Structure 1
């Protein structure tokens, strides 16, 4: 039988099955053809048709029994492509434009509310924006904890992208920008860069069509975060500066302080530490003025990171401890883990490696317990350093290798390269100098590609050290010479110490 003949037979069978349905089941079948993705749960089916969950479940079972849907789990169903197209055609033929538009609006609004409920568990510290109300009688989806919320997001992520595209195509601009804003706090934990940026640009176009300046600022912030985390720092700064300008124009003090707090990490990654410090200090002042303890704790943690990079380990430790106490009072696990990472780094700098190891392990445990691979991948870098400092280079190597795998999955090339750098240091500690040089060389190539001069200098220093230890002094001098040039323009104490150390290494080599 040819493919065309098989398709014709399938279409004929679908027609017979469809005509045998009850009126209620046929209506649901048609409306499900308007669902933005091929797979859906019972609550979504109820939402698109304006039914109760019990009614929807009963009718879905009848559609599955008629082989018009496939049941893939107790509460989940899926169309085959041909049947989905058939259902869509029937909706076009038998439903009025008004009925179709109402069904699309119902399901898209329902997904926005469901995503908002999920992000409340996945990233509870994030504020919620006002949403377009659900239709009267529609049942909002709720979750009873982080695990279920995260599982729902992972299951529905493809549908959520389809919802954004459908909202734009249907002219539902309010839904389009709201979905992008709601999912920002989930995206920033998981780094789905392609969907994050695509959804953000859909939302930005929608906000600008509406002339909603507050919405535009929300989406600019989301795009700025996506670019920061994908190491597109120039674009990130432009997005965040745009959001800051709008929020100042609107007199939005919370929004202004959030934008300042977003620009600080970009300056930190660029190693413009004075600028980063001033942004965080200004944000912290506003958070305290308006009474925003959650964000005050975030700004304190950011200030601690700047203090650490400036070489003020004691100051960093004090700020981080204050932030940790606030995050514990707020039951913010992500904030706690990040501050534990900072405390580990500060303790290590102060010559307390065992304490540093304890803090790093606590941080990684939080990440693992929350199934958050972005946290785990980042905090494993700190654990690796503490393991090295306590003489456990092989354990450190395992931590760095795990971190590199996770960062590869997340698409964070900068942190993946930092994991390679750590692996190079661990191999060097194990006196496996050729392998150490290979990892440092790979890290240097990535940092060069990302135009990250500071991390490039660190990688080149590691590479030169490995080559020098392997008896390849001439090659080592070449890399130290480049690292020396790269560190010349930095003025902070940590950079000055590195510059001095490289100068001495060159003299000795």
Structure 2
């Protein structure tokens, strides 16, 4: 028996770190052999095919460089991006290069957190810490029960070791925060989520690969058989088509490459043709082990019901770039709710921000959303959403057109589903910018509207685009939209609408020097208006027909038509139309040498345009006055009016009227100031060429005859 003692009890344990019961007694010394944790090795070898991310790799290496002098929290690199962007591969590439440089003698500790793994629940921080501690050599019965205790032991285990921790496929910040290593180590994290709470991490967002890099990645991964230069050229041509269909998504490129690896160019051509069809694209991008649709679906599945619906409805939008007002119309929600839910989609990279108030869906994600909306949303709800979207664009286009061409006649209509809100398009510049930005969507929706239960929205939308097309002189695009609308109106037997569209087509055609084609449309318009008893419409067709005579050189016939239209417009009290006719009459009168009559008519027209605030019409009238004075040999008044036209055209953004003013100045100054004449002539040519106007070559010949040099034109504006 040991006698009781009041002396101090001393314990001494050495030889390593051990986990088990504490032995308490007097003067007990325990010497045990040292145990060591198993060595840590780097995970799987990264792909040998790796292109296009060198900048990001170097950025990650800069973050984890032991000699960088970064503080204790700054050696964390966070890679974010959409599904299939190559985040995991980027982490592996950086880790291998770091180990190759001898930076982490303690090894690499890697874990997939299953944040977005199909069919698997994300690892909890406690489960992840248990796995990591086991990797570090702790027996299972030595791992604490609670997550906080596990995190403390985890940090202690790494305290004196230089380890690189790879935390791949992270769901959110709460999952990854406890796993970040202590000072002396570094971490690389990947996630589809933005992980906004990781304040001290250096962020590396991944986006699509550029087309050339995408082609390079595909060819490197596919390694096609190309025995001759011609076969190599063919393979590269097909690869470019495939890369375009994959839209720069590395996973899609690798999956596509796997299907034709080692094959000939003919196999690449077959795959390229299959991928050309958007409806089949996601089905084709499946190599049996990897599927792009499944990868995107893992992000889609974690959304709540309202967020999934919003993402799916974005698939109905004709373009992959969608504005917040369009999303609000699709979902029938106020903007504040849309912005909140779209932020959630942004956080997990199902959509990206693309300028103020706009979002961008990757092309393949857009295809996936379209599939989801047709599979997950009832057909009646889909039709209702499309109706709201078309009405949103129609309502906005109508407002914008009123700013671009105030006072002009428009087809009467009502909007069945007025949008919750629309962009600010009530100012001319904002309206023009909106039309330019949304034109691809407007053209696509116009075609869609023709197939809905209310095809009238097709021709109303085409009519609302008239002011923009006339302003920008985009004649070919205008003719395309008008033809779609005319076909729809013809099918619906809307004679008056057809007549309005025929008139517009004539305007677009005559501006392209296609007078005879224009004449046929004007005659069809006149006959249609007469059939429905529309005197205003008949006058418009006759007025337009005057320009056919004008371009044919029959100025007396042109003047007669102008006068006939003028009488009708005057009787109807149509002041703007009356002023437009007077402006047209003046051009015929100039050709007939009736300069005083022309000047009087243009002055009257200009007064009306100024009073009504019609800047473009005013610029046209000022140019006409310049031409009238120049033709009459009155150089100084001509110069003043051309300069006023130049200022007014620049203020309203009309390249055509600016070119017309500069042309007048160039001709006027050719004899007295050749340098300024060349200056204006060069810019006039540039603008006509930008607009693809036939007047470009006419001006070049005219200046050459006057001895004004015409260097290669550009689009610079002085």
Q: TM-score, normalised by structure 1?
A: 0.81
The 2-side partners of 1:387 and 1:409 are apart by: 24
Aligned to 1:15: 297
- Residue 514 of structure 2: which of 225, 232, 249 is its match? 232
Aligned to 2:684: 403
Query: What does 1:285-304 correspond to in 2, within 5 Å?
Result: 285-304=567-586
Contact 2:392 2:418 in 1 (8 A): no
The 1-side partners of 2:470 and 2:419 are apart by: 33
Listed as ranges, the gaps of 5+ residues in structure 1 are: 440-509
Aligned to 1:159: 441
State whether structure 2 residue 586 is matched by structure 1 residue 275.
Answer: no
The 2-side partners of 1:221 and 1:171 are apart by: 26
The 1-side partners of 2:432 and 2:418 are apart by: 27
Aligned to 1:422: 702
Secondary structure in 1 aligned to 2:549? helix
The 2-side partners of 1:90 and 1:152 are apart by: 29
State whether structure 2 residue 285 is matched by structure 1 residue 5.
Answer: no
Mean Cα deviation higher: 129-138 or 318-327: 129-138
Secondary structure in 2 aligned to 1:73? coil
The 1-side partners of 2:544 and 2:385 are apart by: 38
State whether structure 2 residue 582 is matched by structure 1 residue 332.
Answer: no
Contact 1:167 1:176 in 2 (8 A): yes
Secondary structure in 1 aligned to 2:450? helix
Distance apart, 1:331 and its partner CA? 1.7
Secondary structure in 2 aligned to 1:211? coil
Aligned to 1:52: 334
- Once the two structures are superposed, what CA deviation does each residue of 1:450-490 show, in whole Å capped at 9, x if it has no partner? xxxxxxxxxxxxxxxxxxxxxxxxxxxxxxxxxxxxxxxxx
The 2-side partners of 1:347 and 1:375 are apart by: 17
Query: Per the alignment, do residues 279 and 136 of structure 1 end up closer, same or farther by CA in structure 2, a change over 3 Å counting?
Result: closer
Aligned to 2:657: 375
Distance apart, 1:117 and its partner CA? 0.9
Contact 2:585 2:601 in 1 (8 A): yes
Secondary structure in 1 aligned to 2:421? coil
Distance apart, 1:132 and its partner CA? 4.0
Contact 2:589 2:597 in 1 (8 A): yes
- Residue 33 of structure 1: which of 288, 295, 315 is its match? 315
The 2-side partners of 1:129 and 1:100 are apart by: 28
Aligned to 2:325: 43
Query: Per the alignment, do residues 137 and 270 of structure 1 end up closer, same or farther by CA in structure 2, a change over 3 Å counting?
Result: closer
- Residue 364 of structure 2: which of 82, 85, 88 is its match? 82
Mean Cα deviation higher: 171-180 or 149-158: 171-180
Number of aligned positions between the proteins: 431
Distance apart, 1:155 and its partner CA? 0.8
The 2-side partners of 1:211 and 1:351 are apart by: 53
Query: What does 1:252-263 correspond to in 2, within 5 Å?
Result: 252-263=534-545
Contact 2:410 2:463 in 1 (8 A): no
Query: Per the alignment, do residues 48 and 393 of structure 1 end up closer, same or farther by CA in structure 2, a change over 3 Å counting?
Result: same
Secondary structure in 2 aligned to 1:400? helix
Distance apart, 1:193 and its partner CA? 2.5
State whether structure 2 residue 403 is matched by structure 1 residue 121.
Answer: yes
Distance apart, 1:134 and its partner CA? 3.6
Contact 2:313 2:373 in 1 (8 A): yes
The 2-side partners of 1:195 and 1:61 are apart by: 35
Distance apart, 1:136 and its partner CA? 5.8
Contact 2:424 2:430 in 1 (8 A): no
Query: What does 1:317-396 correspond to in 2, within 5 Å?
Result: 317-388=599-670, 391-396=672-677
The 1-side partners of 2:674 and 2:595 are apart by: 24
Distance apart, 1:125 and its partner CA? 3.1
Contact 1:244 1:255 in 2 (8 A): yes
The 1-side partners of 2:655 and 2:589 are apart by: 27
State whether structure 2 residue 349 is matched by structure 1 residue 63.
Answer: no
- Once the two structures are superposed, what CA deviation does each residue of 1:338-371 show, in whole Å capped at 9, x if it has no partner? 1111111222233321111110011011111112
Query: What does 1:162-201 correspond to in 2, within 5 Å?
Result: 162-170=444-452, 172-201=454-483
Structure with greater Cα Rg? 2
- Residue 148 of structure 1: which of 430, 454, 472 is its match? 430
Aligned to 1:476: none
Contact 1:305 1:342 in 2 (8 A): yes
Secondary structure in 2 aligned to 1:40? strand
The 2-side partners of 1:137 and 1:143 are apart by: 14
- Once the two structures are superposed, what CA deviation does each residue of 1:220-244 show, in whole Å capped at 9, x if it has no partner? 1121111111111111111111111
The structure where helix makes up a greater share of residues is 1
- Residue 130 of structure 1: which of 402, 409, 412 is its match? 412
Distance apart, 1:423 and its partner CA? 2.3
Secondary structure in 1 aligned to 2:303? coil
The 1-side partners of 2:705 and 2:454 are apart by: 53
Distance apart, 1:402 and its partner CA? 1.4
Query: Per the alignment, do residues 194 and 346 of structure 1 end up closer, same or farther by CA in structure 2, a change over 3 Å counting?
Result: closer
The 2-side partners of 1:401 and 1:136 are apart by: 47
The 1-side partners of 2:361 and 2:454 are apart by: 25
The 2-side partners of 1:319 and 1:330 are apart by: 17
- Once the two structures are superposed, what CA deviation does each residue of 1:153-194 show, in whole Å capped at 9, x if it has no partner? 111111111112222344642111111111122211212223
Contact 1:280 1:302 in 2 (8 A): yes
Contact 2:519 2:545 in 1 (8 A): yes
The 2-side partners of 1:176 and 1:214 are apart by: 15
Contact 2:399 2:426 in 1 (8 A): no
- Would you identify which runs of 4 or more consecutive aligned residues in structure 1 move more than 6 Å? none
- Residue 213 of structure 1: which of 467, 474, 495 is its match? 495
Listed as ranges, the gaps of 5+ residues in structure 2 are: 1-48, 50-220, 222-252, 257-284, 714-718
Contact 2:602 2:624 in 1 (8 A): yes
Distance apart, 1:120 and its partner CA? 0.8
Distance apart, 1:145 and its partner CA? 0.9
